[in-house]
Amino acid sequence: MSTQEHPLGVSFEFFPPNTDAGREKLLGVRDALAAREPRFFSVTYGAGGSTQDRTLETVRRVRESGITTAPHLSCIGSEKGQLRELLARYREEGIDSLVALRGDLPSGMGGIGELRYANELVEFIREETGDHFEIAVAAYPESHPQAPSLERDLENFARKMKAGANLAITQYFFNADAYFHFVERARALGVEAPIVPGIMPITNYAKLARFSDACGAEIPRWIRKQLEAYGDDSEAIAAFGEEVISRLCQRLLDGGAPGLHFYTLNQAAPTLKILDNIVG
Ligand code: FAD
């Protein structure tokens, strides 16, 4: 997951599909995005290990592209023994990159487990496997929704990086200044590793609004208003989204962002259009 291999340093995130049609479609999406020579692909992991097998199965298929593929791994709700086993399995498969997270436990899904926060998971991975894995962790330019303050969240982020993470990927955001401010503050706390902006292409207003409320990403009023005005005109939403996100990406890169990580939602076209606008 080094940031040096590709000048733009893009990476693409997928979720494990749960239908045959979804699995088939993902192979085409993988190939279309692999042509852009990403630094890595990553595959999300369901809360409490609920997608453990599907995440691994998806990683296997995505890796057939020859591109490094990092499974996400969350610790909440898991015991150390389970995590140890999973790490061993990943090593056996030749996987050498991970995105390490605390995760969120859906209500009624049992206890917190033995590791409470992502910094403890990073420490655990380093204790168990040394330097075998390149580890990416999550960052929140607009603050994690449960954090008592931006300051405290930054301190927690710096602790997580110092526990042995190589790279951070941010939650998506629409305000470039939040990212620049976060990076500046993290540097002041001694974080030297790359902090790559997470980019969410805009394709569907209702889904975006729901996601954003849950993860604490702010949709600026002017974007909200414009998307609302388009109603169910999906072409107009896609065109506007492409323009807004392409401009955001350009601004981030011009301001020194070390790359871009796309939340593709298993679709190639919106990400490819944005890349064409900023690279082409
Ligand atoms: P942490 O870094 O542990 O932080 C969680 C909260 O605890 C924050 O408020 C933080 O300030 C606080 N905190 C951290 N450390 C401490 C400490 N030592 N003491 C006290 N407080 C502390 N979710 C999934 O379920 N599956 C995925 O695959 C997935 N992938 C993601 C990928 C990215 C790039 C991002 C940005 C998020 C992803 N998420 C995923 C969502 C993520 O699991 C949630 O945002 C979750 O609530 C926090 O996970 P974290 O690793 O950031 O937690």
- Residue 4 has what pLDDT? 44
Mean pLDDT of 61-65: 97
Report how far residue 1's alpha carbon sits from residue 78's, in angstroms, rounded to the nearest whole number: 26
Going from the Cα of 20 to the center of ligand 1, the distance in angstroms, rounded, reads 30
Whether pLDDT at 273 is above 90: yes
Least confident of 50-54, 86-90, 110-114, 252-256: 110-114
ipTM of this model?
A: 0.99
Residue 140 CA: nearest ligand 1 atom is 36
166-203: per-residue pLDDT in tens?
999 999 999 999 999 999 999 999 999 999 999 999 99
Whether pLDDT at 127 is above 70: yes
Whether pLDDT at 230 is above 80: yes
Indicate if the alpha-carbon torsion angle 69, 72, 78, 80 is positive or negative.
positive
Report the percent of the chain where pLDDT is more than 70. Answer: 96
- Residue 125 has what pLDDT? 98
Going from the Cα of 118 to the center of ligand 1, the distance in angstroms, rounded, reads 6
Going from the Cα of 22 to the center of ligand 1, the distance in angstroms, rounded, reads 27
Going from the Cα of 10 to the center of ligand 1, the distance in angstroms, rounded, reads 22
Whether pLDDT at 253 is above 80: yes
Report field, pTM of the whole predicted structure over 0.80:
yes
Give the pocket of ligand 1 (CB within 6 Å).
Answer: 44-45, 47, 72, 74, 99, 101-104, 117-119, 138, 144, 146-147, 152-153, 156, 159-160, 169, 171, 198
Whether pLDDT at 5 is above 90: no
- H/E stretch holding 150 reads helix 150-162
Report how far residue 8's alpha carbon sits from residue 194's, in angstroms, rounded to the nearest whole number: 13
Residue 102 CA: nearest ligand 1 atom is 51
- Residue holding tokens 């409470």? 116
Mean pLDDT of 148-176: 98
Catalytic residue IDs = 13
SS (H, E, C) 204-255: CHHHHHHHHHHHCCCCCHHHHHHHHHHCCCHHHHHHHHHHHHHHHHHHHHHC
Per-residue exposure over 22-54, b if at least 16 CB sit within 10 Å of its own CB, e if not: ebeebeebbeebbebebbbbbbbbbebbebbeb
Ligand 1 probe mutation, 1, 102, 162, most atoms within 8 A of CB:
102
Protein residue whose Cα sits closest to atom 22 of ligand 1: 156
pLDDT band with cut points at 50, 70 and 90 for residue 109: low
Pairwise pLDDT comparison (220 vs 279), residue with the higher score: 220
Residue 153 CA: nearest ligand 1 atom is 11
- Residue 7 has what pLDDT? 57
8-55: per-residue pLDDT in tens?
699 999 999 999 999 999 999 999 999 999 999 999 998 777 788 999
Whether pLDDT at 2 is above 50: no
Whether pLDDT at 1 is above 80: no
Protein residue whose Cα sits closest to atom 38 of ligand 1: 138
- Residue 3 has what pLDDT? 43
Residue 146 CA: nearest ligand 1 atom is 9
Report the percent of the chain where pLDDT is more than 90. Answer: 90
Determine contact, residues 47/73, Cβ cutoff 8 Å: no
Q: Has domain 10-277 been given CATH number 3.20.20.220?
A: yes
- Residue 47 has what pLDDT? 78
- Residue 24 has what pLDDT? 97
Whether pLDDT at 149 is above 50: yes
Determine contact, residues 40/13, Cβ cutoff 8 Å: no
